[in-house]
Amino acid sequence: MWLYKLIKKDKHITIRFYAELNDFLPEKKKKRDYILPYFGNPTIKDIIESQGVPHTEIELILVNSISVNLEYHIRPLDKVSVYPEFELLDVSPLIRLRPKPLRNTRFVADAHLGKLARYLRMLGFDTVYKNDIRDDMIICHSIEEKRIILTRDLGILKNGQVDRGYFIRNQRPFDQCRELVRKFSLEKQISPFSRCMECNGLFNKVDKKLLKAEIPEMAYQYFEDFYKCAGCGNIYWKGSHYHKMQKTIQKLLSG
């Protein structure tokens, strides 16, 4: 009986989460070391996600000051430090948990983020979205097309197949978009009004004479530049809506 109690007592680790990873923790665990008991032979991924932190949010794990991957099996008395993506430190000599950042930032948004998807398309980002898209299709798009999953559903981010994903913190779509611009440093990648907000298709400039039968007479009279979506065929021009969206973009990129 004494031996059993001793073994049970030793089955714990010390763990700490850093920076924005604390968003997922209860107040008593935020920004501090804490003791975490465990049973069996879990991986560090199992331990981290048992605390509510999806593995897609993590860039680096140190166990006893040595970097490890997600498949590392924890041992009694391990000291674990878990870090999000680094912006100012070079962690290339250490074990990174995913490949280097994508050259072309592309997204797939879950069914509850339709307005966010429209904002991202307005900024020119290739963003897959359907209001009835299933989790398995989201994962498929992410894997096959190297897209970052955007969601407020922690379950999908804990799926072992998911390599790239981000949990949206804010509730309002405008704030969500601003959050992403800052998180992924998207300012230099934006290409406003190059993509259809409805279907994600790219725009092609078209001679307005070829569109005369498809556009309102007033628009034909007062505007010269017209663009047609290669996906859905919608036609766009720089009317009052264009100037309103310009102001929205300025607000997204300010502050």
User: Model confidence over 151-186: pLDDT tens digits?
Assistant: 999 999 999 999 899 999 999 999 999 999 998 889
Domain-located, residue 102: no
How many Cβ atoms from other residues are within 10 Å of residue 165's Cβ? 25
Domain-located, residue 185: yes
Residues facing 165 on adjacent strands: 149
Q: Which domain holds residue 210?
A: 203-253
Two tokens at 26?
């209860």
Per residue in 65-87, pLDDT tens?
999 999 999 999 999 999 997 64
Q: How many domains does the chain have?
A: 3
Is the Cβ–Cβ distance between 199 and 136 less than 8 Å? no
Please tell me whether residues 209 and 175 are part of one structural domain: no
Residue 108, pLDDT score: 98
| Cα three-residue angle 162-166-168, rounded to 5 degrees | 140
Two tokens at 53?
């932190």
Task: Please check the confidence at residue 1 and state whether its pLDDT lies above 80.
Answer: no
Q: The CATH number of the domain where 68 resides is what?
A: 3.10.20.30
Domain-located, residue 100: no
Domain-located, residue 196: no
DSSP-assigned letter for residue 202: B
Domain-located, residue 91: no
Task: Please check the confidence at residue 100 and state whether its pLDDT lies above 60.
Answer: no
